Structure 1
Amino acid sequence: MPTSLITAAQLTKRREAQPAPVLLDVNDASVFDAQHLKGAVNANVFEMNFLAQVREKLGLQPEQPVIVYGPNSSSYASRLAADKLVAAGFAEVEEFRGGLEAAIEAGLPLEGDAAKLKALQQPERAQGQLPVDTAESQVRWIGRNLASQHEGTVGIQSGYINVVDGILRGGELVLDLEQISCIDIGDEETGGVLLKHFRDMEFFHIDQYPLAKVQIEHVDFNPHATPGSPNYEVVGSLTLKGVTAPVGAKLVGDSKNKLTWACQGMVEIDRTRWNVIYGSGKFFQHLGMHAVNDHISVNLKLIFGGK
């Protein structure tokens, strides 16, 4: 049976029917705890065990009528929950697509604290200069040739960002090449050969240039980006092997709380711009199995500030 859409007025009437439908709030538990429709029960549709929660924790049966709602009409949470329930055999599922936002606007009976909900929707933002958390952050590299690839990590020595009202404005990161690792080669001896090779002058010449530095010089912030999509485009410079050249990246970043700011992203760099020329077809011919792609992928997971 297809899902029916209902309005706030219809919701009020439906709840007076017998048997009364179960009102299922599919928001995150933190939102439900802050405020929800009176009498609603909660199962987060984004949890992998959503249907198990519905059946086992809440005890809902397929023959029971259910009304689902999420945060608002622009969210797909309630329609996703309705589709899951119908596919699982629930015979009578209705969707109040306007969600909690429409319920508040319509003055429907609620439980919880409006101030608590507002605090969730407008969290405190990180502020000031925040040091990099070297234990929680990670810089991971991937290098490739025609037939295979290797990957590993690079140590982080130090760094910081400047944040104004939760928005990234600048910063720097110092990488420790002495701590470069390869994590995909199980054989220690073979992995050691590769890491020793990285120290050579045609690679990173680590004995002479043990550190690399990233300086953020310009930041474009997109306040309209949806969560999980890049909301920052940063441009700056990378100093590696004594060479400084421009570098840029798209990042997903935000305050975790008033003390912490986090971001993730990926940078593609052409290593030859920093005189890392081993196996490059730009500089050598007849490389055969020794050819190595010029581009290196660098994946960033960076945490700044406190907990």
Structure 2
Amino acid sequence: MTKKYLGFAALAIAAVGLLLMQGSAAPSTAVNNAEASQKEIGAEPLQDGSYEIVSGSSINWEGRKTMIAGYKDVGTVPILQGKIAVSGGKITGGNMIFDMSALKVGATGKQKGESMLERHLKSDSFFNAEKFPTAEFVIKEAAPEKDAADSFRHAVSGELTMKGITREVAFSALAFMKEGKAVVAATFDLDRTLWDIRFGSAKFFDDLADNVIDDKFTVSFSVVANPAR
């Protein structure tokens, strides 16, 4: 991996940290922190054009067991390809296609059994990766959030298709330019039951005890996109 790409990777990680920091801080503190952090990383407003997400990018996921404090499973899903369109300084479209067949488990709440959980998540109890090897998010609308012009924070909405089911999703993201490349970062929750993933859900099963799996799982990503050729 080149030093330049490592620099952009660090920048993207910093963007996620900034996003989390802004979400948890008081409004006035968040604005001050955002302005300082943007100066440090050299962020600039989005520039019009078409961009392609760098090959080898991925999203992070985190699942939790509701009844066990601190229990979480974490991993990644590769992005097969993705595009971002910018016009008038705003994101006007784009998509990301995810390789569900290459879903990975990085660690489990049990501190063991990663390969077993990976097989389970790919099975028809969860994402059914054999039948539905890809998922796709399509951007429908994105605009700078009110009172957040200095933070590069955008309200993004679109459609996520998993297991052949399409649902609308909305989340807050940081989007800016760095040395001619677009950087987009976000952290948000999804309700898996909206895509008919019911395993371990207290909505559909009784007497699960501490085997209840939170219906919501967390998705985070920080991607760099090059100008399209």
Q: Which TM-score bucket, shorter chain as reference?
A: 0.7 to 0.9
Query: CA offset at residue 188 of structure 1?
Result: 9.7
Residues 1:223 and 1:281: Cα distance change in structure 2 (over 3 Å): closer
Distance 1:167 1:190, change over 3 A: same
Whether 2:59 is the aligned partner of 1:139: answer yes
Higher percent of residues as strand: 2
Question: Contact (CA 8 Å) 2:160, 2:168: kept in 1 or not?
Answer: yes
Do the aligned partners of residues 240 and 303 (structure 1) sit closer, same or farther apart at CA in structure 2, a change above 3 Å counting?
same
Specify the structure having the higher radius of gyration (Cα): 1
Could you tell me which residue of structure 2 aligns to residue 194 of structure 1? 117
Distance apart, 1:76 and its partner CA = 7.6
Shift of 1:127: 2.9
Say which of 239, 248, 255 aligns to 2:161.
Answer: 239
Shift in CA distance, 223/256, structure 1 to aligned 2, threshold 3 Å: farther
> CA offsets, 1:41-94, max 9 Å, x none?
xxxxxxxxxxxxxxxxxxxxxxxxxxxxxxxxxx989xxxxxxxxxxxxxxxxx
Equivalent residue, structure 2, for 1:170: 93
**Distance 1:126-1:293 versus aligned 2 partners, 3 A rule:** same
**What is the alpha-carbon distance in structure 2 between the residues aligned to residue 218 and residue 305 of structure 1?**
21
- What is the distance in 2 between the residues matched to 1:195 and 1:122? 37
Evaluate the alpha carbon distance shift between residue 122 and residue 273 of structure 1 in structure 2; reply closer, same or farther with a 3 A threshold: closer
Which residue in the other structure is 2:170 paired with?
Answer: 248
The letter of the residue matching 2:144 is F
Mind listing any 5+ residue stretches in structure 2 that lack a counterpart?
1-30, 34-41
Using structure 2 for the length normalisation, give the TM-score. 0.73
Percentage identity across aligned positions?
25
Distance 1:303 1:223, change over 3 A: farther
Question: In 1, Cα distance between the equivalents of 2:43 and 2:220?
Answer: 29
> Aligned equivalents of 1:292 and 1:215: distance in 2?
27
Name whichever of 286-295 and 208-217 sits farther off: 286-295
CA distance in 2, matches of 1:250, 1:122: 17
Find the aligned partners of 2:138 and 2:81 in 1 and give their Cα distance: 12
**What amino acid is the match of 1:219?**
A
Alignment of 1:284-299 (within 5 A): 284-299=205-220
Asked if the contact 1:166/1:261 (under 8 Å) is kept, the reply is no
**Runs of 5+ consecutive residues of structure 1 not aligned to the other structure:** 1-74, 78-120
Conserved? CA contact 2:43–2:176, under 8 Å: no
Normalised to the residue count of structure 1, the TM-score between the two structures is: 0.55
Q: Per-residue CA shift, 1:246-303, capped at 9, x if unaligned?
A: 1111001111133x11011112110000011110011111112321000011011121
> Which position in structure 2 is the counterpart of 1:17?
none
Matched residue type, 1:303: V
Match status 1:270 vs 2:188: no
Structure 2: how far apart are the matches of 1:212 and 1:160?
Answer: 15
Q: How many residues align?
A: 188
Give the equivalent residue in structure 2 for 1:31.
none
**8 Å contact kept, 2:174–2:184:** yes
Distance 1:291 1:234, change over 3 A: same
Q: CA deviation at 1:125?
A: 5.0
Among 36, 49, 74, the residue aligned to 1:151 = 74
Structure with larger RCO (C-alpha < 8 A, sep 6+)? 2
Alignment check: 8 A CA contact 2:100 2:134 kept: yes
Measured after TM superposition, the shift of residue 156 of structure 1 is: 0.5
